[in-house]
Amino acid sequence: MTSQDTFDRLVARFPGFELEYVEGKDPAVLVKAENLVALAQYLRDDEECDYCSSITGVDYPEHFEVVYHLYSMKNEGGPVILKVRAERENPHVPSVTSIWRGANWQEREVWDLMGIRFDGHPDLRRVLLWEGYQGHPLRKDFPGPQDEYTFS
């Protein structure tokens, strides 16, 4: 649960980032893609969010969204939730592998199943499906496997 206090601290620290507070059951911070790495660096070093629990891709009609759940093992706090939007055509998001090394395979999974590219990732290959697979199966417009066993 990203608290209002955390959000206020982030806005005070980064006034030029145009952060948005996303209300809901689990409030989150909406951050622009170009500011993600700087914000993540601050959250890890100063807010002590030392554990990137999950990286998820979401397919919305207008855009893709990548959701980060950050926890603090040291303070037993969290999660701080970050959301980053990417355009539908050729989606790109900067990689946070340099900040949390555990993000490596999670970003590969999002690339594999949702087709969102992570710039600066050291080894962006498919992790669950095999090389040479056609398309990204968790996208809403994925047509389904067109093999001999597909029934309509």
Partner 1 sequence: MTQEDLVPPELKRNVFVAPVDWIYNIGRAGSVWPIMFGLACCAFEMIVTLTSRFDLSRFGMEFMRASPRQSELMIVSGTVTKKMAPQVVRLYDQMPEPKYVMAMGACAISGGPFKDGYNVVPGIDKYLPVDVYVPGCPPRPESLLDGAIKLHQKIRSETILTSPWYRKGVDRELPVPELGPWGLVLPKGEESE
Least Cβ distance, residue 143 to partner 1 (angstroms)? 10
Query: 36-45 and 4-13 helices cross at what angle (nearest 10)?
Result: 120
Which is nearer to partner 1, 4 or 152 (by Cβ)?
152
The label of the residue with tokens 């087709």 reads 115
Q: Does 3 bind partner 1 (CB under 8 A)?
A: no
Using CB under 8 A, pick the residue from 61, 76, 132, 140 that binds partner 1: 132
Of 97, 58, 84, 77, the C-alpha closest to 3 is 77
Give the type of residue at 17: F
How far does Cα 151 stand from its chain's mean position? 34
Q: How far apart are CA 79 and CA 74, in angstroms?
A: 13
Q: Does 151 bind partner 1 (CB under 8 A)?
A: yes
Least Cβ distance, residue 66 to partner 1 (angstroms)? 21
Least Cβ distance, residue 115 to partner 1 (angstroms)? 13
Residues forming the site for partner 1 (CB under 8 A): 128-130, 132-134, 137, 142, 144-151
